[in-house]
A and B are shown apart, each in its own frame.
Chain A
Amino acid sequence: MSTTSSAQAYHNNLVGPVMRAGDLAQAVIEAAKVDNPGKEVFVDDKRAYIRIHTEHEMILRQATIEEELGRPFRMNDLEVDLSSFAGQIESRDDSVRFYFAKKL
C-alpha cells in the first residue's frame, strides 16, 4: 500500500478557516475574496464543514463580513462557527489573519 499521497499532503501552504456550514460561512467565503485581492480562494464543502483557504496568508476583515452578512458582526463572533483552521492565527479587533511563517 502506497504512502506517496499521504507524504504529498504535507507539502502545502494553504491557510484559512474551516467553518461550520451556514450563513456565516457563506459570508466568510465572499469576504475572503474581497479581503485577499489577487488570491485564489479554495472552497472545499464537506457539508458539515467548509474549508476556505488561500495560499500562505489570509486576512478576514470584520467590516467585510458584516457587509456580506447584512447584519452587525463583531470579529470575535467568528468563533461561533470557526470549528478549525489551517495555519497559525493572529486575532485583532477588526480583522483576523491566518498565515504560515515558513513557505514550503
Chain B
Amino acid sequence: MAVLNRMDWYDLARTTNWTPKYVTEDELFPPMLSGEFGLPLSAWEKYDEPYKQTYPEYVKVQREKDAGAYSVKAALERSRIFENADPGWKSVMKAHYGAIARGEYAAASAEARMMRFSKAPGMRNMATLGCMDEIRHGQMQLYFPHEHVSKDRQMDWAFKAYDTNEWAMIAARHFFDDIMMTRDAISVSIMLTFSFETGFTNMQFLGLAADAAEAGDHTFANLISSIQTDESRHAQIGGPALKVLIENGHKAEAQKRVDIAVWGAWKLFSVLTGPIMDYYTPLAHRKQSFKEFMEEWIVAQFERALTDMGLDLPWYWDIFLKDISQTHHGMHLGSYFWRPTLWWNPAAGVTPDERTWLEEKYPGWNDTWGQCWDVFIDNVVDGNMAMTYPETLPYVCNMCQLPILGTPGKGWNVKDYPLEYNGRLYHFGSEVDRWVFEQDPERYAGHLSIVDRFLAGMIQPMNLEGALAYMNLAPGEMGDDAHNYAWAEVYRALRETRKAG
C-alpha cells in the first residue's frame, strides 16, 4: 500500500480552524485565555511550527524513549548507586526532584491551555504532544525518586515540596505561576516554551546530566537527558508565535515577555542550579563550572537563537553577563548558612582544593566569597557551631523571592531597590526585579514574601522553630552539612601544622 509522506498531508490535517456560527470568535477564544493581541484567527493560521510531529510518530518515538530510560533504571537498580553516592550528589538529586517533579504537572496544565485556547492550529497540535510530554516528565520524576524514599526521608520532598511553604519552593512557585499558570496561551508559548525551555531547561537537564554521567549516576543522567529530547521539540512552540507577533507589529510585547521570563528563570537557576554545579557536585565529577554551562547554553545557544528570531538582547544584558559570575555564590552562601530551612543537605564545597578550582573558574573568589567562608571555617574548627547558624532572617526580594545579596569584599555592593506602590513598600534585589514588578504591578502586588509573612505575624512562634514548622520541615528533613563537617578536618590539620611550625 502506498503511504503518503508526512509532509504531503501534515499541513492539511492540522488545519483545524473553522468559522464559528453559533458563538463569536471571542467566545470561542476568550482573549484573556487566548492572548489579548487583537489578532484574528486568520493571522494565527500563518503560524508554522518548525519542528513537526504527528501523533503516530509521537507514540512510536516516545515508546522508544521510555523503553530506554526505564530499562537503564531497572538494570542499575541493584547497583547501589544511591547508597554509595557522595552525600553532595544525593543533595543534587533531592534539590532537583523537589523543585521540579510536581512542577511538570503545572507545565502540562499550561500546555493544555495552549492546546485549547491558541488560535494557531499548529500550536494546538504541538501543545497536545507537549502536554503529554509534561505528564511523562511528572510521572518519571516521581517514579524514579520513589525507590529512595525508604532510605532517606528527604527524598519524600520529591513528592511534597510543591505543597509546602519552604522558602525556595515559594520562589519556584512564584516564578512558575507567573510564566505558565497565570498567562494566556500565546504568552505561555513565549515565556514557558521559548524563554524557559529552549533556554534554561538545557542547564538543568543536559548540563547536569553531564555532571551526573561523570559522577557515575547513569540512571539520572539518562532520565533527565531523555526528558530534554521532549523539551527540544515542544520548546519550539514559542518561536513561530514570536514570528507572528513581530510580523503583526507586536514585537515590544513579545520582547517584554521574553525579558521577564528570562530574568525570573535566571534568578531561580542561580539558587537551584548554581550551588549544585559549583559546590555540591564532587570536584572530580564537575564537567564545567556553572558559569561555563551558562555561557554554553544561555549565552552562546539561547540568546544567539533569540536574536535570530528578530528579537533584541534583553535590555539588562550587561547586568546579566556580570551576574552569572557572582549571584549564585551568594545564593550558595545564603542557602548553606540557612541550611535548616532546606529539604536537602547542602555541601559546603570549600576545601582548599575546591577553593583553588573556584578561584580558577571565578578569579577573585577568595577575596570576596572566600572571606566569608574563612570566618565560617574558623567557627567550625573552633567548635563554635552556634556561630555557624543564622539568628535573623535575610531580606528577601519581592519579585524573585530570594535573598537580596551583593558580592562581599572590597567591592561590597549589596543594595536594595525599593518601590512604593499603593502605600506598601516593596524591596527588590536588583533593578531588573523591580522593572519586572513595574510592568504589571497588580499581578504581583498582593503576594507576601516569606519575610513579609513573618513580619505580619503569620509565622508563630517568631523564631527558627516557628519558621521551620511554617515551612513544613520536620526534624530528620531539615538540612545540615552534607558531609557532617568532615571537610573541616583538613583546616583543623592545617592549623595544627601552623602551630607546630
A positions within 8 Å CB-CB of B:
1-3, 5-7, 9-10, 12, 14, 18, 20-21, 46-49, 76-77, 79-93, 100-102, 104
Contacts and interface: CB of A to CB of B under 8 A. Distances in A.
Given A80-B65, A86-B305, A3 B225 contact: no
A70 B305 CA distance: 33
B50 A90 contact: yes
A101 B222 CA distance: 33
A104 B65 CA distance: 36
B229 A89 contact: no
Given A20-B225, A48-B212, A9 B7 contact: no
A61 B50 CA distance: 17
Contact of A6 (B6, B7, B232, B324): B324
B7 A100 contact: no
Contact of A20 (B64, B229, B287): B229
Contacts of B301: 84, 86
Please name the 7 residue pairs, one residue from A and one from B, whose CB atoms are nearest each other, closest first.
A48-B209, A48-B213, A83-B228, A9-B300, A9-B299, A9-B295, A3-B321
Contacts of B7: 92-93
A3 B322 contact: yes
Interface stretch (B51-59, B97-105, B158-166): B51-59
B126 to A, nearest CB: 12
B287 A7 contact: no
A10 B304 contact: yes
B40 interface: no
A79 B304 contact: no
Contacts of A91: 50-52
A3 B364 CA distance: 13
B275 to A, nearest CB: 18
A79 B326 contact: no
Contacts of B308: 87-88, 100-102
A5 B295 contact: yes
B214 interface: yes
B50 A47 contact: no
B154 interface: no
Contacts of A48: 206, 209-210, 212-213, 221, 225
Contact of B228 (A84, A87, A90): A84
A47 B325 contact: no
A87 B206 contact: no
Given A6-B321, A9-B296, A47-B210, A83 B229 contact: yes
A9 B322 CA distance: 14
9 contacts: A6-B324, A7-B321, A49-B225, A80-B65, A80-B68, A82-B229, A84-B228, A86-B300, A88-B50
Contacts of B226: 20, 83
Contacts of B363: 1-2
Contact of A49 (B6, B209, B239, B321): B209
A75 to B, nearest CB: 9
A88 B295 contact: no
B449 interface: no
A55 B322 CA distance: 28
Interface string B291-316: 10011110111011101110001000
